[in-house]
Structure 1
């Protein structure tokens, strides 16, 4: 099993759904409409200087790649061995952002936007499984909730260190199996509250409302103040 990523240039923000469609076309060999900036070549050169392509190696032992890279003037597609996915994905995202390129993760349909395409005061999504996402789109947030499971049991959406929403599932989050712990901190520790939620739908609504700055997102929950002392 391999872990795949795609990197290319976007002149403006796109949604995760649009990136999914574009990635599928790239995998089919269709790069129609993509810009061909020098940044793609610079990204590829820096990436392969650190992790040579399989075509450049006499012995592939120790290489993180599971197949040769697919490279054009406009994009780079890569497959890496699963055991090194976390390490390599973090590095690829870092390099892509350094060169002003987007990085798309088809495993979770997650789009990583470079700094130039992010909104001011962008939020940050931390997940139990997967790379952090700065300025996540609504579709990424919804999928993050839908993908919560026993082995992927929490997510945190941060608007700064002291203001965030987090969701935990089941005993790992200190609640009964099948239930979710929805927590919200809005400043100091004495403003940290929790609500127990049975269904995912209200959690999606809460996360999207918090991300959109809707002050009424929390009104539909029964909150209990947490004592973290």
Structure 2
């Protein structure tokens, strides 16, 4: 494999019949990395993926420069989703399952460290919220032209549907619950917290 400039990052894509956990995804990624790349014909999905693609039996590894990671990751997530494949991000230790999804077609997940995911699965939304930090200063779910929910460290929630409201919530579990409710079209979080 040719050496790429600077630091490289990886994503791995493969097929799973049902949603899996991050632990399962991490174990699969590590096991595949120890195996030998596959010889022969690459699967169709490999031809659509950006970056440097290495094919392993049943798995495709995408390597890209850190500089282009945000843009290329978005392309990888989209291609994987279109093919019904899971995608594991070992840098962030995040897993993109095909399902279950929220109710808003085209909803986007945005993070302060540059990740943008179209139609994120609910497990990913839950896991991303645990990465809030100085390096990832916000997470937002956006349904363009309608409404959004966003959170920053210290668990300050912002919700906008017409007007912008803010609420400070107690802990990460409260934040994860509010984002889950938002994603599935349940507005219980609006009654549960004090909004200003």
TM-score range, shorter chain: 0.7 to 0.9
Find the aligned partners of 1:138 and 1:92 in 2 and give their Cα distance. Answer: 18
CA 1:204/1:101 → structure 2, altered by over 3 Å: closer, same or farther? closer
The yes-or-no answer on 1:147 pairing with 2:153 is no
Calculate the TM-score normalised by the size of structure 1: 0.64
The yes-or-no answer on 1:185 pairing with 2:160 is yes
Please say if residues 16 and 137 of structure 1, whose CA atoms lie closer than 8 Å, have aligned partners that are also in contact.
no
CA 1:3/1:144 → structure 2, altered by over 3 Å: closer, same or farther? same
Find the aligned partners of 1:46 and 1:199 in 2 and give their Cα distance. Answer: 41
Calculate the TM-score normalised by the size of structure 2: 0.73
CA shift at 1:223, angstroms?
A: 0.7
CA shift at 1:105, angstroms?
A: 1.2
CA 1:80/1:181 → structure 2, altered by over 3 Å: closer, same or farther? same
Find the aligned partners of 2:177 and 2:62 in 1 and give their Cα distance. Answer: 34
Please say if residues 151 and 157 of structure 2, whose CA atoms lie closer than 8 Å, have aligned partners that are also in contact.
yes
Find the aligned partners of 1:168 and 1:105 in 2 and give their Cα distance. Answer: 22
Match of 1:6 in 2: 12
Please give the per-residue CA displacement for 1:173-225, whole angstroms capped at 9, x wherever unaligned.
xxxxxx34311123xx23x311134643322232223234443223332111x
Please give the per-residue CA displacement for 1:129-184, whole angstroms capped at 9, x wherever unaligned.
24323443444223322221223211111345312211124xxxxxxxxx343111
Find the aligned partners of 1:6 and 1:128 in 2 and give their Cα distance. Answer: 22
The yes-or-no answer on 1:133 pairing with 2:117 is yes
Match of 2:62 in 1: 78
- Greater strand share, 1 or 2? 2
> Unmatched 5+ residue regions in structure 1?
32-37, 52-64, 170-178, 225-229
Please say if residues 16 and 139 of structure 1, whose CA atoms lie closer than 8 Å, have aligned partners that are also in contact.
no
> Unmatched 5+ residue regions in structure 2?
1-6
Find the aligned partners of 1:118 and 1:196 in 2 and give their Cα distance. Answer: 28
